[in-house]
Amino acid sequence: MLISCYIELLDEVILPACEDVYPDGNFVYQQDGAPAHKDKRTQRYLEEHAPFIPASQWPAYSPDLNPCDYRLWAWMKQKLYEKGTALNLVELKTRIREVWDELDVETIRKWLRELRPRLQKVIDDAKPIQQYFNKV
């Protein structure tokens, strides 16, 4: 069930959004090690529909290379809990939307400027690199 929902999300939302932003197809879709991402049905779907890196070729320590993993989630978590713990699911969802709306383009650009040095560090050292870069 989860796999089919993920493939449906890829088909109806994610890949069309990628194609809107990159109409020339100049993008590579990146995933992490979530079970739905590694599933052979997902991998097969992506082989047929998008440029992506197959799970068998994911680089070691690739979360160190993904701006969502190395910046966004920690930033969101920090912002979410500045006001304490949400009292219920509705409050949590509201806070998530508010924090997401606070995220500005310059912050994203700053995070993306870190990508090339991170890539080089992984190439040079082939080990976890987070400790070499600033925290949120």
Number of structural domains in the chain:
2
Residue listed under structure tokens 């680089």: 59
- The verdict on 109 and 53 lying in the same domain is no
The more confident residue out of 26 and 62 is: 26
pLDDT at 59 over 60: yes
**pLDDT, tens digit, for every residue of 39-54?**
999 999 999 999 988 8
Q: How confident is the model at residue 63 (pLDDT cuts 50, 70, 90)?
A: low
Per-residue confidence (pLDDT) for residue 97, from 0 to 100: 94
The CA-based angle 28-113-109, given to 5 degrees, is 85
pLDDT at 136 over 60: no
- Last-in-domain residue among 57, 88, 104: 57
**pLDDT, tens digit, for every residue of 14-37?**
999 999 989 998 888 888 778 898
- The verdict on 11 and 50 lying in the same domain is yes
pLDDT at 130 over 80: no
What's the rounded Cα separation, in Å, for the pair 82 and 102?
13
Burial class (CB in 10 A: 0-12, 13-18, 19+), 88: exposed
- The verdict on 72 and 20 lying in the same domain is no
**pLDDT, tens digit, for every residue of 75-127?**
999 999 998 999 999 999 999 999 999 999 999 888 888 888 877 877 787 66
Domain that residue 32 falls in: 2-57
- The verdict on 100 and 48 lying in the same domain is no
Q: How far is CA 70 from the centre of its chain?
A: 9
Handedness of CA 105, 135, 81, 88 (dihedral sign): positive
What's the rounded Cα separation, in Å, for the pair 76 and 68?
10
In DSSP terms, 29 is beta-bridged to 52
Per-residue confidence (pLDDT) for residue 106, from 0 to 100: 93
- The verdict on 68 and 46 lying in the same domain is no
Highest mean pLDDT (candidates 6-15, 18-27, 58-67, 124-133) = 6-15
- The verdict on 123 and 107 lying in the same domain is yes
- The verdict on 74 and 24 lying in the same domain is no
User: What token pair was written down for 30?
Assistant: 């990146």
- The verdict on 51 and 96 lying in the same domain is no
